[in-house]
Each structure stands twice: as structure tokens, then as C-alpha cells.
Amino acid sequence: MTNCGMVRLAAGVLAGGVFLWQEPALVAREARPERIVLSYSHEDAEHAAVIRHRLIRAGCSVWWDGEIPAGSRYWGRAIERAIDGADVVLRLLGSPCDYCRNETGRAGRKGIRVVPTKLTSGADTPIHLERLQRLPLNRLEEICTKRPPA
């Protein structure tokens, strides 16, 4: 991979599809955009799509499972690879999602930052995420520019 040209792509090829990170070119390695994975219930897919576009416009590199080819036998592996390559897993709290618990658990075990955000004021925060600081919906773009202290 080089940092030249219009777009730098980091790819991990899967047997049933391709997993890609797309990042703006000519960005210094230290200043590259945050790589964010969206973790959400499929009942909240419309919210996730809007948030994904907001974060991309703010300069983040965003992955969501909408990029997995329909019918792929390797969807679980694609999600694992996306999480393993992420800087942040943004957990969208809305409808209940048991699989999201697995995604955030994997991120936590791998030392990847998990940031919960409520899609509605009534959304429940799962007990395993209660100790984490949430990011309000109206400040999501901050995740693209502000990294926690090392």
C-alpha cells in the first residue's frame, strides 16, 4: 500500500467477497482518519445509514455490514476482520441486538475502543456498556477528529 494517488485502499480479501477500508490519500500516517465499525441492530439500519454518511463526510473511514455481499458464507469472518482493523466500534443503541454484544465484546478483548451512542432517549444501554462514556448523536463527528489520550 502506498499513500499516493486519489485514494488509498487497504484490502483484506475474503473467499466470498472483498473487505475494503477506503481512506483519503496523502494523509500522514499519524493523521489518518479514524477507522470506525458500526455495530447496530438491523432494525436500526436506516439510522445506521444516515450516521455512516455523516461520519464519512466528517472524514472518518467507516465500515458496516451493508458492505458484505448478500448471501456470503463468510459474513462472520468479514465482521471479525473489520473489528480487528478498527480504531473504534461505534455501538448504535436502539433496538435490542444480541449479536452486537458479541461485536463489542470482541472489540473490548482486542483493546479496540467501544463508543456507545443512543439513537433515541429511551434506548437501553446494555449492562456491559454502562461503564463506557457515551457520545451524544449531535456530536458524532467528533469521533473522526478527536482521539483519546494515549
> What would the CATH number be for the domain defined by 32-144?
3.40.50.10140
End-to-end CA, the chain: 26
Rounded to an integer, what distance in angstroms lies between the CA atom of residue 53 and that of residue 48? 9
* pLDDT of 9 strictly over 90: no
Q: Which residue has the higher pLDDT, 91 or 150?
A: 91
Across 65-77, average pLDDT: 87
Q: What's the pLDDT score for residue 148?
A: 54
8 A C-beta contact, residue 89 and residue 64: no
Q: What's the pLDDT score for residue 5?
A: 31
Domain ranges for the chain: 32-144
C-alpha cell at 9: 485502499
Angle between helices 98-109 and 75-84 (to 10 degrees): 40
Number of neighbours of residue 38 by Cβ within 10 angstroms: 26
pLDDT-based confidence at residue 6 (cuts at 50, 70, 90): very low
Question: Per residue in 93-116, pLDDT tens?
Answer: 999 999 999 999 999 999 999 999
Question: Per residue in 24-58, pLDDT tens?
Answer: 443 344 556 789 999 999 999 999 999 999 999 99
Residue 107 is given by DSSP the state: H
Longest dimension (CA), the chain: 45
pTM for this model (two decimals): 0.75
* pLDDT of 119 strictly over 90: yes
